[in-house]
Amino acid sequence: MSEKKKKKKSSDKGSKQPWYADGLQFQCTQCGDCCGGEPGFVWVGEDEIEALAAEMKITVDEFEYQFVRQVGRDKSLKEYPDGDCILLDPETRKCTVYGARPIQCRTWPFWDSNLKKRKDWKETCEVCPGAGQGKLYSLEHIEMTRKEKSV
């Protein structure tokens, strides 16, 4: 391989950008769809549980007793029998702890699984009416959000 080709290859590698380098649009319509429906998990770490308990002005023990279930070694928020998150107001369909909602909720829709390929994002837009419209988020913001994990 010539020197020229080698150089080109290394500069291509350095400039490789994700497919969403120009940013992505998202503006939650607060439809509540991602907080309900099919059963699932909303993972919560100790710090998140403390923040949620403080938001509700109850003790950590009381919060865990009412709203948290053990799943193996991890903890998830409980659900109503229909699959809705226990912290979703059944009437208004709004989160009752929005200011302290867990990282999993705050980082949606910029999850690894939604960003792998364009088609993954397209599928996300099909289930979330807020994805793909409204405010434009920069690549930097998306990457920061994507890497945020529950502890």
Task: Write the CB contacts of 98 (distance below 8 Å, at least 6 apart in sequence).
Answer: none
Site for ligand SF4 in 115-134 (CB under 6 A): 128-130
- Closer to ligand SF4 at the Cβ: 6 or 37? 37
C-beta of 87: minimal distance to ligand SF4 in Å?
4
- Closer to ligand SF4 at the Cβ: 63 or 108? 108
34 lies in the binding site for ligand SF4 (CB under 6 A): yes
Angle between helices 46-56 and 60-67 (to 10 degrees): 100
Task: Write the CB contacts of 96 (distance below 8 Å, at least 6 apart in sequence).
Answer: 87, 88, 89
88 lies in the binding site for ligand SF4 (CB under 6 A): yes
Task: Report the amino acid identity of residue 14.
Answer: G
C-beta of 17: minimal distance to ligand SF4 in Å?
25
